[in-house]
Structure 1
Amino acid sequence: MTVPAETLSFEDALAQLERIVAELESGQAPLEKSLELYKRGAALKALCEERLEAARLQVEKITLSKTGQVEGTAPAEFN
């Protein structure tokens, strides 16, 4: 039985995704299983991206005054 992707932690979803990629790259899975793996991998990828974006939005940077006092927080910028 396959656990629904949305119930997995980020780490578990990523580990499953890595196993799926390795199995698909091996070329050993029959066509039907490859299609199932691909669908599961796509769902896991979407979940991981969603969780990463949610974490990114939660990250804040602390802004300091010239004297080193905390002035507040602002969203972190990732480039």
Structure 2
Amino acid sequence: MTIERHSLAKELPEFKDKIHELKMNDKHFARLFDDYHDLDHAVIRIEDGVESSSDEYLESLKKQRLQLKDQLYSLLRNA
């Protein structure tokens, strides 16, 4: 089974340049971006079997990742 990565640039390719710009110039965006990346990495490690967790914990990580993506998308759209 192939694990699907959810990098922000892949998820929102139309904002690739804006993502880079905001990461460099907006500390709040950069922090949220880093949090999103960390959550995505944690989900991938669990799905790859590198780490084990309960299904409930994995789902909570995925929900947190989605909430961060929504926040980041809103910031990108309004930038």
TM-score (norm 2): 0.44
Higher strand share: 1
RCO comparison, higher one (Cα < 8 Å, 6+): 2
Higher helix share: 2
